[in-house]
Homo-oligomer: A and B are copies of this chain.
Amino acid sequence: MIITLAREFGSGGRELGKRLSDELNIPYYDKEIISSIADNCKLDARYVEHFLEEGKGTNFFFTFGHSFGLGSTVNNDLLRTIMQEQCSVMKKIAEKDCIIVGRCADVLLKELNPFRIFVFGDLDKKIERCHRREPEMSEKEIEKFLKRIDKDRAKLYSMYSDIPWGDKRGYDLLINTSGKDLKMLAKVTADYIRGVFGK
C-alpha cells in the first residue's frame, strides 16, 4: 500500500495526508526525506529543501554557497546527485506501506504502481485557510504567495513528468477539500484506498 499525495498550497493536503496515515496506520513521510538526502549527500538540509520544494536549486546554490566560481557543470552534477538521492531514499521508504506527501513521489515511484492522490481547493477557500494561520498577511499577499508556491511545484514536477502537475491524467483520485471537514475526508478517503488495495 504505497500512497503518494500531491497538494495545492493551502488546500489542507498535508493535514489530510497526516490524518490518512493515522487512519490507515501506515507511516507518513514529508520532511524526513529532505533530512535523509541532506545527510547522505552531506549538504545543508535548507539547501536540499529549497531546491526540492521550489525547483530553484541553481539560484539558491550561488546565493548560499558563496561560490560564484563554481561552473554550471559542477552545479548540474550536484542537482543530479540530489535528484538521484531523492529517488533512492524514496525507494527505500517504499519497501513498506507508506504515504509520501509531495516530492514528485507519484512519478519517482511509478514502477511500484502507487495510489496517486491530488488534493486541491477553490482559491477563496485556500486563501481563507491560510489567512486563519497567518492573520497578519493580507488576502492579496496570500494569494500571490500560494500561487508562487504552486507554480514552483509545477515547475519542479515538469522536470520529471510530461503530464503537468495537477493534471488529472497523472492521478488516481483528485479531492476537492473546499467546504469539507478534513477529518471526515480522511476517513472516507482511507475507506476508498482500502477498497482499491482490497484490504
Binds B, one of A81-89, A130-138, A139-147, A163-171: A163-171
Cα A118 to Cα B171 with chains together (Å) = 13
How many residues belonging to A are interface residues under a CB distance threshold of 8 Å? 25
Whether A172 sits at the interface, judged by CB under 8 Å, is: yes
Selected from B176, B184, B185, B195, the residue in CB contact (under 8 A) with A171 is B176
Selected from B172, B176, B185, B187, the residue in CB contact (under 8 A) with A168 is B176
Least CB distance, A111 to chain B, in whole angstroms: 15
Q: How many copies of this chain does one complex carry?
A: 2
Of chain B, the residue at the smallest CB distance from A122 is B169
Of chain B, the residue at the smallest CB distance from A168 is B174
The interface residues of chain B lying within 8 Å CB-to-CB of A171 are: 174, 176
The interface residues of chain B lying within 8 Å CB-to-CB of A198 are: 184
Whether A94 sits at the interface, judged by CB under 8 Å, is: no
User: 12 A-B contacts, Cβ less than 8 Å apart?
Assistant: A120-B168, A171-B174, A172-B178, A173-B174, A173-B176, A184-B196, A185-B195, A187-B195, A188-B194, A188-B195, A188-B196, A191-B191
